[in-house]
Amino acid sequence: MALVPLTDIPATPWRMLAERAIEPNGYYLPDWELAVNAFASGRTGASALCAWSETPLVPDGAARLIGLLPVVSMWRAYKIPLPALASASPYGTLCTPLLDRDNANDAVNHMIAQARNAGAHALILRDVSMNGAAMKAITEVLRQNGLRPRVLQSHARACLDARHDADELLRDALGGKKLKELRRQRNRLAEHGAISFDVARTPEAVTAAVETFMALEASGWKARRGTALQQDEGDAGFIRRATTGLAASGQCEIVTLHAGETPVAAAIVLRHQDRAFYFKLGVDERFAKFSPGVQLTLELTKHLCASAVIATADSTASADHPMINPIWRGRLRIGDVLIPLRRRDPVVSMIHAALTARHSVRELARRAVHLVRERRKS
């Protein structure tokens, strides 16, 4: 049985599921993921594992969506020709599925059955929240079926507990000496014009601000590596559509730090339920000695802590990110998990072995590249 294309999932029940999700994931909101699926290079054409309940949530009698996970084949995800499905990359480092808070276990059971019927022997959840409510529901359903998840890799990444006072958090994280140095840099930056922190929220404001963000991102090292959004027509189309679409429902902000009339740093922030997601940061490297990215992050920290809605902010950054780790001292455990779909299935062991070998090869390559770069610096 073939999987349904992601584009076949109606947006309205998808949005209703997102409102009721047991765990937030801004990167699987429909306005974001459908924009990725329509435009983003290498990320289009995903399918969906989805679960529907015959019990309606609204009086119109229509079935409601209780579970959703965009997926691609293992071949597409890893170039490994084995029968497994992997969570589709949403152009953000979080693939936690959306599960209805009152029907999470039923949703997981339906989605596992759908994956089996599609011919898969395993489901690979990439960049999933390891200790979150969704993974707990998945683990419980597996336990009931005599199965258990296999952790392929995990790491901790920075997050912010936005329920505390921002000044206190920053003082505890950075210390008085570092904060004094950052204030000195801010004062030097102010010599180029009065410092202002702007938050674009409306679709019109976000439409303008995303152009500023992309210009900043494309002015530095990301452009030199060819990874800036503006450098790819599909990626640029995705981010324009996604940010404007989410702004219409209050789920996207673009924050910008100005020195006078000059934007020196900008970032895209998604919101889902009580969680914010720090997507990407762009800076004007002409002002690098004033740490514009850090200055923006300090302002963003204060902005999120002042919110009556946001409880946590996920940096969605790498485990060892040198900028965000010292500032946001909370940690989220994120990992890749292999979900077997049948008991005592030898194919699952083959899939596990192939993924482990691939990870080892990539880790050796990463270390080799790092060594070459370090030698060039010396």
In order along its 378 residues, the chain shows pLDDT tens digits of 679 999 999 999 999 999 999 999 999 999 999 999 999 999 999 999 999 997 765 555 568 999 999 999 999 999 999 999 999 999 999 999 999 999 999 999 999 999 999 999 999 999 999 999 999 999 999 999 999 999 999 999 999 999 999 999 999 999 999 999 999 999 999 999 999 999 999 999 999 999 999 999 999 888 888 889 999 999 999 999 999 999 999 999 999 999 999 999 999 999 999 999 999 999 999 999 999 999 999 999 999 999 999 999 999 999 999 999 999 999 999 999 999 999 999 999 999 999 999 988 888 877 877 777 677 766
How many residues make up the chain in this entry? Answer: 378
SS3 265: strand
CA dihedral 114, 117, 118, 121 (to 10 degrees): 90
Task: Identify the pLDDT of residue 56.
Answer: 62
Contact 47, 5 (CB under 8 A): yes
Kindly report the backbone phi and psi dihedral angles of residue 286, in degrees, each rounded to the nearest multiple of 5, phi listed first: -65, -20
What would the two tokens of residue 338 be? 């292999």
Kindly report the backbone phi and psi dihedral angles of residue 356, in degrees, each rounded to the nearest multiple of 5, phi listed first: -65, -45
d(CA 268, CA 167): 22
What would the two tokens of residue 39 be? 């435009």
pTM: 0.94
Fill in the amino acid letter for 208: A
Task: Identify the pLDDT of residue 61.
Answer: 56
Task: Identify the pLDDT of residue 356.
Answer: 95
**Partners of residue 333 on adjacent β-strands:** 156
SS3 128: strand
**Partners of residue 338 on adjacent β-strands:** 124, 150
Give the H or E element holding residue 170. helix 166-189
Fill in the amino acid letter for 128: V
Task: Identify the pLDDT of residue 59.
Answer: 55
Which of 112, 39, 19, 104 lies closest to 67, judged by CA? Answer: 104
Give the H or E element holding residue 141. helix 133-144
Strands 150-161 and 195-200: unpaired
Task: Identify the pLDDT of residue 62.
Answer: 65
SS3 70: strand
Task: Identify the pLDDT of residue 127.
Answer: 97
User: How many other CB atoms sit within 10 Å of the CB of residue 215?
Assistant: 15
Residue 5 to residues 45, 50, 361: CA-CA distances in angstroms? Answer: 7, 11, 32
Task: Identify the pLDDT of residue 335.
Answer: 97
Strands 252-259 and 262-272: antiparallel
Which of 274, 209, 210, 284 lies closest to 240, judged by CA? Answer: 210
Task: Identify the pLDDT of residue 34.
Answer: 98
Q: Angle, nearest 10°, between helix axes 203-217 and 233-247? A: 150
d(CA 279, CA 137): 26
As a whole number of angstroms, the longest Cα–Cα distance in the chain is 69
SS3 42: coil
What would the two tokens of residue 315 be? 């940096």
What would the two tokens of residue 86 be? 């992997």
d(CA 166, CA 160): 10
Half-sphere exposure of 108 (CA within 13 A, CB side): 26
Contact 118, 86 (CB under 8 A): no
